[in-house]
Amino acid sequence: MVLKLQPDVAPHHIGTTEEVALRLLNESAHGSQLPSVPRLHTAATAEIGGRRWHYMVMDRAGEREFGWCGRDQTEAALGRAFATALVGLVYMHSCGVAHLDVKPANILVDRAHSATLIDFGLSLMQRESTRAAGTLPYIAPEICKRAVPHARAYNTFKSDVWSLGISLFAAAAGFHPWALANVHEQSGRYRRVYNAQGRAAHLGFSATWLLLSTPLSDELAATFPGMVGPATEEELSPCLSSPAAPLLVKLLDGMLVIDPDRRPDLRGVCRLADEWLAAVCPAEQRRVGAVLAAAESGASPLGAAVAAAAAGEKEQTFGHPGDGARADSADESNDPVYRSSFRSSGS
């Protein structure tokens, strides 16, 4: 187990926000094993040294960041880590919770290559938000207001898809497609990729290969698609040069669509991931398929059905339809709790 201790400081009450999200996720499983989410044992406030602190005791997650997996391990290890993180996010969304700070540092991988999502301090129990949240450079383009034309409120669940996609890209490629100092620089780069993606789709090119071109300069955008991908095939990581690499690129192309209206939700990501996972990690492909079926079943409460599917349990009949928050009604929450801010990369 691990103890997490934070100052209980107004007005954001970060610890309380995380506690609310974790309690909801723990209770929504209805006794099933929690999929890729830490089990919360206790949480309270205490006065220590004249200051009020909020503490939580929860299960310990893995010790390695998700980014470590793709650089040093096999495609199967990368596939298992991604699949378990994906299942955790599907479970969160089925409970009506968006993470909003998905990044390798918040996806911890154990020695069996199973991932656990951590750090729910920015999580939000509603589908749409206008608050900027996340970590540069993993934040979704629509959160950078100038990156996507006519962006207003953004879909919190779609933003999680983008952040998971960038995390997968970094783990598979061994580097980040961009590491920029501030939101203004990132907005400009998103706009260039946004324009190039439209041309890529029209000409049948892969947007992921565009992101593999580093640095993505104004000259590259102007001459695209002539300059795509690394200079030589030898520069590719093993995960992007294997026979299964085109399937991984197809998955990344879907997750890293700049326009959130065209970007799939997590159910769509499960479908996109099917072929790649079948090639590199068949056991996880079957589990993701079971989770997708549960997420599309309309069961109530939905979170319990997803948790049972993730655990490989037999189909159950769940009562008390008011107990679970379905993803398609998450924006009806009357009491959203969140903290919105930009964090520096790596925090």
Give the distance from CA 180 to its chain's centroid.
20
Angstrom distance (rounded) from CA 284 to CA 216: 34
Give the distance from CA 27 to its chain's centroid.
21
Q: How much helix, strand and coil, in percent to the nearest 5, is found in the chain?
A: 45, 10, 40
Angstrom distance (rounded) from CA 79 to CA 150: 36
| Residue 101 annotated as catalytic | yes
Say which residues have a Cβ less than 8 Å from residue 269's Cβ, sequence separation at least 6. Answer: 86, 161, 164, 251, 254, 255
Q: Which amino acid is at 259?
A: D
Positive/negative CA dihedral, 214, 215, 216, 217: negative
How far from each other are the two terminal CA atoms of the chain, in whole angstroms? 22
Q: Which amino acid is at 25?
A: L
Q: 14 with 122: CB under 8 angstroms?
A: no
* Beta-carbon-side half-sphere exposure of residue 320 (alpha carbons within 13 Å): 9
DSSP code string of 271-300? HHHHHHHHHH-HHHHHHHHHHHHHHTTT-S
Angstrom distance (rounded) from CA 34 to CA 19: 16
Q: 117 with 106: CB under 8 angstroms?
A: yes
Cis-peptide into 38, omega within 30 deg: no
Phi and psi at 248, nearest 5°, equal -65, -40
The token pair at 128 is: 């749409």
Cis-peptide into 260, omega within 30 deg: no
List 8, 59, 72, 101, catalytic entry = 101
Angstrom distance (rounded) from CA 5 to CA 299: 36
Instruction: State the catalytic residues.
Output: 101
